[in-house]
Structure 1
Amino acid sequence: MPDLLAFFGPIFNALLVALFARRALGVPVGWPRSIVMGLFMGAAVSWAVGHFGELTGSFVDGEVVVPLGTLFVILSLIAAWVFVIGLIVLVLLEVFVPTGTLPSPMTFLRGWKARRRRGRRYTQVIRIAAKHGLSGYLGGRRRSFEGQAKVARSLRDALNEGGVTFVKLGQTLSTRRDLIPEVFADQLASLQTRATPEPWTQIEQAIEQELGRPLAEVFASVEPEPLAAASVAQVHAAHLLDGTPVVLKVQRPGARKQVTSDVEIILRLARWLERATLWGRSLRVTRLAEGFAASLEEELDYTVELDNLRGVAATLDGGVDVPAAYERHSTSRLLVMERLEGTPVGSAGALLAAMPAQARKALAHRLLSEILRQLIRTGVFHADLHPGNILITGDGGLGLLDFGSVGRLDQATRNALGMLLLAIDKNDAIAATDALIEMLDRPEGLAERELERELGQLMVRYRTGLGRGGSSGMFASLFGLVHAHGFAVPPQIAAAFRALAALDGTLGLISPDLDVVEAAREQGREMMREATAPEAVRADLESRLAGYLPVLQRLPRRINKLAEDLEQGRITVNVRSLSDQRDRSYLTGLVQQVVVAILAAAATLGAIVLMAADTGPMITPSLRLFALVGCALLLVGFVLALRSLALVFRRP
């Protein structure tokens, strides 16, 4: 029993001291450091009692020479001062190493293997960057991108060597031409995610694990050789038990684990770059990395792609086909879809060459019309329209594949986008500027006249055709324009422009002589004409008036009451200052800090006066009463001052 008391007694005292320390400072100081400081205080008190007892004359040759009451006061004061010294250490720790910046001991022990694995991967990433000459930009030593073409190629090669997550990061950045220079976007757009196929035995095991039963109970056959293999997933042809041809999109084993680890490294690098480099802060790389992490998390969850597939399929009007999904066999890592027979546009050179020019142009017009209808009328659109995702079916129709990236636009944004296309068609720079502001929100300090003039010049440049760079050049110029004027492009609107820019290359393969800008003008003009037709406007007004009808019915009575109150002088204006709880909390906290600081200063000054006094009764041969009271008062002043400092340096 005495051994247990000897062991648990100091621990209990440390917990008690830690509790008092947290309460005294008024901030949530971490428990581990508080307990360690409590153990230190317990050890320091026993030493301080004997040492300072002799200095104050309380002990002489180990014997107590003062009354017990006085001894108790002196010892309590000594213990309190040791406590204050511990508080000082805790405040300094909170200033330089705030609670939460270091992992807890249990977290540190549990995550040791993960941190070691992440450290190796982090070292590998830094080594790849250094190999391609990018280490200077990571450290912030280089403040501008001299020789942009060379740096862009180095960045492309480094991302390609970094693996699937970094390749996808580069592909995502290539779509943000509003943020990165065009030369970087062009190089990053060439990144590919093709990979060596996974052995069929592992893929078969992964499929059966997702299905929860043997493969033969669901499929009559599955082709071991994949139709396509990327770094995250593989696509295999198969037949259901009833003979229906399908395709299986199955996630590679271990892909999610690797991507999750790499995303964490990307987020850490982004936070470091935003702190250490000017270009990182200007590009707001942390927000970019967080958006990329969120989109990649959705891409790894095939239930999201299944919802995207259903959303796009529900908006089609028959001009383009999408595969039907088999939900009962699909999971978060397995997607079973109908197999569309056809050839991707990127591989259909011979097929397109055999088609008449007029048929190819009609095919391109049909695809453009469908995508613009999705953007302007339905708001649900395919956002990854590269040639590999557009299929030319056996009967000369069109199909869409891969719905991992689907955008959604609200009604107001769709209207603004339609008005922008209509204004460009009419060469109306004023209306185009208004539509752009409505779509992107007005930035602070916008020079509207300058924006209007530059937008007008852009429309004149592309009025008679594609111009240099094609319609992708037009979208790149538009991105540069909105970025130069401080607009923040929301991700969904950036996805819409990205879809149009990618569609340009696909349409060029289908019909090289198609003027995409002119065709988009025609399609946009027709769609806006439908949207602004008298019947459509009347139906919209009727639906809005139906919602406002109760308000309109009460409006005459309210106007009459307002007029009577105004005539009889009953109208008053009641202004309540500090009605918001946040304002009251801020003011209350500010007043509390000021009061605590004043009390701390007053207690400290009073303590100094008392301790400096050379009069007053002696309670020990070498200690005056006023000095003892001054020490106690100084203790109060120190505690109040430490509490004030802890509140000042506290980080939410």
Structure 2
Amino acid sequence: MSTPAGSPSELKRLTELSTILIRYGFGDLLRYAGVDHLVEKAGEILRWKDHGAATDAPAPIRMRRALEEMGPTFIKLGQILSTRVDLFAPEYIRELEKLRDHVPTLPYEELVVEVETQLGRPLMQVFDRLDTEPLGAGSIAQTHRAQLRTGEEVVVKIRRPGIGRTIEADLRLLGRIARFASRQFEDVARFHPESIIQEFANSIHNELDFAIEGRNAETIARSFAEDAFIATPRVFWDFTSERMNVQEFIDGVPGSDMEAVEAGGFDRKLIALRGANAVLKMMFEDRFFHADPHPGNVFYLPGNKITFIDFGMVGQLSRQRRDEMVDLLYGMVERRADKVTEILLKWADTDDRQNLNLESRIDAFIDRVHGVSLDKLDISALTRDLFSAMRDHNLALPSDLTLMAKAFASLDGMGRQLDPDFDMVEVARPFLQRQILRRYAPDRIARKAREGAAEGVDLVTGLPRDLKKLLQMAQRGQLSLGVDVVRMEHYMDRIDRSVTRITMAIVIAALIMGSSIVMSFSGNQMPVGLSVFAMLGFAGSVLGGFWLIYSIWRGGRH
């Protein structure tokens, strides 16, 4: 069996990761992935370590600690997986969400090396003041407060040195492991591990480029240009690059400091409503939204104004996906379990014949929430229940919707923290109603009619040309019919083995019968040479019989 590691450096890294996973009690996971020889090597290393305490904690905590110890790539992977509420149970999601915290800081001198090399000059020639004590530290970057020579107070976000090379190496290794696991195990392939890793790679590449984060911030800022109560920090592009982001310093109250919010005299109900409306507008109207609006990414300013920060993780919805989400929510309102099930299966890209009892599960879910007053509905609990049903049926959501579900949960939690009576369903209702009305607005219907007519004209006018090409291919013998049957090679191999066994059994039977007939001659009537052939026939039939029994036994084991 081939190894998922390629180069010696990847093999060494995989061994290090195996060691960490075994220390935290996840050795079976490695065996399941087919890297037994590395597990054994890591086990020899661990024989000298007391890792009993590491396996005493519950599995979600051990998983989070293991990811922290495995380094920045896996911390970011855990953060991405914290959005996959369709794959992990709530207790795992809660632990994975903690991965944004507890990242050790780097000394200022080590941090600025790559940035100064890129700038071609010391940072102190750019800033009038740059605090060496960080405001915060993440798995990819650190933030420091500074002052530009023009007097503006700013926050400088600097990428950790060497982090790009480390992440690229780990991404190659993760890609190899995902491909290896998909090919070796059908039950792993159902969850599309290669797609998850690709989604993670795209996300982390965007986060590594701080210029992209700046453009994300400006896109959202333009959306709220007419709203005096929602803002984003200004980006100073003269000093912003791939490795460094310089943004306006927000002198406000952090959303995570509820005591300061209370002491500042903020209207908690009002800012909860304004924040929810802002995020819902991003989702349903702009289709470009902040994917992690937790309290640590929000500041409150005088006048109950709200400023969102940290746009490294954003989500983007297509019009079709947005409409499907609206259909799903209204399908629940109208008690259309068949419609809800159809949308979920479409998202998961699977065959409904494999999920015949999903509709009854969804129907029971809808019955449970119907008749409950809006003020008693818990949107987070409803989301967990819905995704629990999907997990039980081995269904996975597209990445854009997992980010949306994550943003919904973060928004609902932040709203309830500010206002215990916060009702996400009631706040979201006007946005959903507007989308339904817009879908059937005369101008939109007319546009769809024009598009449909244009496509129809193209189809009709292009039909003679397409038929001509089809006939020409048939005349040249280039037209062929292909039938792709899933796992056909596997079944053909089984048929081939069965035919071989049947043929062997017929040959053995013929040998036995022929030898028996020959041996039935008595004494002098049978030539000496013929008796030898009769004995050889019996011996061959015995050997063939043993081979046939062994082949059937071995095939049964596989």
Q: TM (normalized to structure 1)?
A: 0.61
Structure 1 distance, partners of 2:247, 2:357, is: 50
Equivalent residues in 2 for 1:526-605 (5 A)? Answer: 526-533=430-437, 537-545=441-449, 547=451, 583=480
Once the two structures are TM-superposed, the CA of residue 525 in structure 1 deviates from its matched residue by 2.8
2:257 pairs with 337, 343, 347, which one? 347
Deviations 1:421-479 (A, max 9, x none): 334345554554455466x2662134787444433332343442689994322212222
Structure 1 distance, partners of 2:284, 2:23, is: 46
Once the two structures are TM-superposed, the CA of residue 279 in structure 1 deviates from its matched residue by 5.5
Structure 2 distance, partners of 1:194, 1:580, is: 67
Once the two structures are TM-superposed, the CA of residue 236 in structure 1 deviates from its matched residue by 1.2
Structure 2 distance, partners of 1:367, 1:152, is: 31
Say if 1:302 and 1:583 are closer, same or farther in 2 by CA, change over 3 A.
farther
2:27 pairs with 112, 123, 135, which one? 135
Equivalent residues in 2 for 1:159-178 (5 A)? Answer: 159-178=67-86
**2:249 aligned partner, one-letter code:** R
Once the two structures are TM-superposed, the CA of residue 375 in structure 1 deviates from its matched residue by 1.3
Which residue number in structure 2 is paired with residue 379 of structure 1?
A: 287
Which residue number in structure 1 is paired with residue 516 of structure 2?
A: none
Contact 2:269 2:419 in 1 (8 A): yes
Which residue number in structure 2 is paired with residue 366 of structure 1?
A: 274
Structure 2 distance, partners of 1:277, 1:467, is: 45
**1:443 aligned partner, one-letter code:** T
Contact 2:255 2:298 in 1 (8 A): yes
For structure 2, which runs of at least 5 residues remain unmatched after alignment?
A: 35-54, 465-469, 485-558
Contact 2:375 2:423 in 1 (8 A): no
Once the two structures are TM-superposed, the CA of residue 234 in structure 1 deviates from its matched residue by 0.7
Deviations 1:294-314 (A, max 9, x none): 322221122222232222223
Which residue number in structure 2 is paired with residue 325 of structure 1?
A: 235
Structure 2 distance, partners of 1:138, 1:538, is: 58
Say if 1:225 and 1:176 are closer, same or farther in 2 by CA, change over 3 A.
same
For the residue of structure 1 that corresponds to 2:256, the secondary structure is helix
1:126 pairs with 18, 31, 37, which one? 18
Determine which structure has more spread, i.e. the larger CA radius of gyration.
1
Say if 1:129 and 1:482 are closer, same or farther in 2 by CA, change over 3 A.
closer
> 506-515 or 214-223: which moved more?
214-223
Contact 2:287 2:322 in 1 (8 A): yes
Structure 1 distance, partners of 2:257, 2:83, is: 23
> 133-142 or 150-159: which moved more?
133-142
Once the two structures are TM-superposed, the CA of residue 402 in structure 1 deviates from its matched residue by 0.8
Structure 1 distance, partners of 2:246, 2:33, is: 50
Say if 1:136 and 1:579 are closer, same or farther in 2 by CA, change over 3 A.
farther
Once the two structures are TM-superposed, the CA of residue 403 in structure 1 deviates from its matched residue by 0.7
Structure 1 distance, partners of 2:68, 2:444, is: 50
Contact 1:418 1:528 in 2 (8 A): yes
Contact 1:531 1:537 in 2 (8 A): no
Matched residues, number: 456
Say if 1:514 and 1:298 are closer, same or farther in 2 by CA, change over 3 A.
same
Once the two structures are TM-superposed, the CA of residue 399 in structure 1 deviates from its matched residue by 1.4
Whether 1:179 aligns to 2:71 is: no
Equivalent residues in 2 for 1:272-283 (5 A)? Answer: 272-274=180-182, 280-283=188-191
Once the two structures are TM-superposed, the CA of residue 404 in structure 1 deviates from its matched residue by 0.8
Contact 2:79 2:96 in 1 (8 A): yes
Once the two structures are TM-superposed, the CA of residue 492 in structure 1 deviates from its matched residue by 0.7
Equivalent residues in 2 for 1:93-492 (5 A)? Answer: 115-116=8-9, 118-140=10-32, 150-274=58-182, 280-316=188-224, 318=227, 319-352=229-262, 355=265, 359-433=267-341, 436=344, 440=347, 443-446=350-353, 450-463=357-370, 464=372, 470-485=378-393, 487-492=395-400
Structure 2 distance, partners of 1:455, 1:483, is: 13
Contact 1:446 1:486 in 2 (8 A): no
Whether 1:494 aligns to 2:402 is: yes
Say if 1:436 and 1:375 are closer, same or farther in 2 by CA, change over 3 A.
farther
Structure 1 distance, partners of 2:327, 2:243, is: 40
Say if 1:338 and 1:473 are closer, same or farther in 2 by CA, change over 3 A.
same
Once the two structures are TM-superposed, the CA of residue 139 in structure 1 deviates from its matched residue by 0.8
Structure 2 distance, partners of 1:483, 1:576, is: 47
For the residue of structure 1 that corresponds to 2:420, the secondary structure is coil
Contact 1:386 1:502 in 2 (8 A): yes
Once the two structures are TM-superposed, the CA of residue 360 in structure 1 deviates from its matched residue by 1.3
Structure 1 distance, partners of 2:189, 2:57, is: 22
Percent identical residues = 26
Q: TM (normalized to structure 2)?
A: 0.70
Say if 1:397 and 1:377 are closer, same or farther in 2 by CA, change over 3 A.
same
Say if 1:140 and 1:432 are closer, same or farther in 2 by CA, change over 3 A.
closer
Say if 1:285 and 1:581 are closer, same or farther in 2 by CA, change over 3 A.
farther
Structure 1 distance, partners of 2:265, 2:61, is: 38
Say if 1:148 and 1:446 are closer, same or farther in 2 by CA, change over 3 A.
farther
Once the two structures are TM-superposed, the CA of residue 533 in structure 1 deviates from its matched residue by 4.0
For the residue of structure 2 that corresponds to 1:191, the secondary structure is helix
Once the two structures are TM-superposed, the CA of residue 495 in structure 1 deviates from its matched residue by 1.0
Say if 1:184 and 1:209 are closer, same or farther in 2 by CA, change over 3 A.
same
For the residue of structure 1 that corresponds to 2:98, the secondary structure is coil
